[in-house]
Amino acid sequence: AQTVTQSQPEMSVQEAETVTLSCTYDTSENNYYLFWYKQPPSRQMILVIRQEAYKQQNATENRFSVNFQKAAKSFSLKISDSQLGDTAMYFCAFMKPLGPGTYKYIFGTGTRLKVLA
């Protein structure tokens, strides 16, 4: 069975600094996707970044980038130039397509990030 582990329950970073959130997963599958979601105090789940396992190149979205190490089953999120609005809970998620229009998602337990002014 697939598992997703986020070993850092809480982290803090100074505004404008860089922070890395860790995520490891366990799977025997070869075709899967990985995601980072942001959940601010508003509770809304917001997709930050996604990575297809078959792509070797690390995904990047503005200040957010990932370090995808497929062999090590590691998927860390780097936030550069941290902003106060980045304060949120961050969830790592694994997704495996099960067939046409069917998916299996596994979420980590989350990392609460606080950006300090």
Which positions lie near another protein, rule CB under 8 A? Answer: 4, 9, 33, 35, 42-45, 47, 50, 91, 95, 97, 101-103, 105, 107-110
The residue (of 39 and 80) whose beta carbon lies closer to another protein is 39
Instruction: Give the residue among 48, 54, 112 at the shortest CA–CA distance from 80.
Output: 48
Instruction: Give the residue among 70, 98, 82 at the shortest CA–CA distance from 21.
Output: 82
Distance from C-alpha of 96 to C-alpha of 99, rounded to nearest angstrom: 9
Distance from C-alpha of 114 to C-alpha of 116, rounded to nearest angstrom: 6
CB of 53 to another protein, least distance (A): 11
Distance from C-alpha of 18 to C-alpha of 82, rounded to nearest angstrom: 6
Distance from C-alpha of 26 to C-alpha of 113, rounded to nearest angstrom: 24
The residue (of 30 and 43) whose beta carbon lies closer to another protein is 43
CB of 16 to another protein, least distance (A): 29
The residue (of 82 and 92) whose beta carbon lies closer to another protein is 92
The residue (of 32 and 86) whose beta carbon lies closer to another protein is 32
CB of 108 to another protein, least distance (A): 6
CB of 11 to another protein, least distance (A): 15
